[in-house]
Amino acid sequence: FLFIAQLIKLQALREARDELRLVSDSLDPGIVDLAMLIGTLRSRLEKRLGHHGLRFEWAVRAVPTPDHLQAHHFLHVLRIAQEAITNVIKHAGAKIVRVATHVDGPYVVLEISDDGCGLGAGQGGRGLKNMSRRAQEISAELDVVDTGAGTRVRLKIPRTLEAQTAAPAATL
């Protein structure tokens, strides 16, 4: 029993260390674009995903960094991605998690999807609400949808604030 308690403590310490590194990464002045930022998340999570039997598909491409994002906004982007991936680990029963970036007209898009069970009726707890709040903080739109073949989280960040035609929205 003592051994199991020590393993749990060790895991908690590792997770706390990873959290500190994530915050530190988001504030690193050397990180100047979204692909580099999301790359730091990959290096932090890839091993964890493997331990949970998930295959990580990476389709992050160089995309322009929205001109209104400042260093302190990067933490919101990382936290949204981290929460989406944590939800896959905890709830989806997925085998694959895919992280992608691309440009869609006036938006830079970060997309996290899985091949799991999708959103169940009535799902949408505190994590999804926090993701929505963080998206609003960076003037972005957040869509979380059940695709019928898993879940897709899409964060659409306007490249410029002038490009945003409507108030930020969240669809959960």
Express each pLDDT in 15-72 by its tens digit.
666 666 655 555 555 555 777 777 777 877 777 788 888 998 999 888 888 888 877 7
Contact 31, 73 (CB under 8 A): no
Residue 55, strand partner residues: 96
Q: CA-CA distance, 131 to 128, in Å (whole number)?
A: 5
Residue 16: count of CB within 10 angstroms of its CB: 10
Looking at residue 70, the DSSP 8-state letter turns out to be -
Q: What is the pLDDT of residue 167?
A: 44
Least confident of 15-19, 54-58, 95-99, 130-134: 15-19
Side chain identity at residue 140, one-letter code: A
What integer is the mean pLDDT of 5-18?
Answer: 70
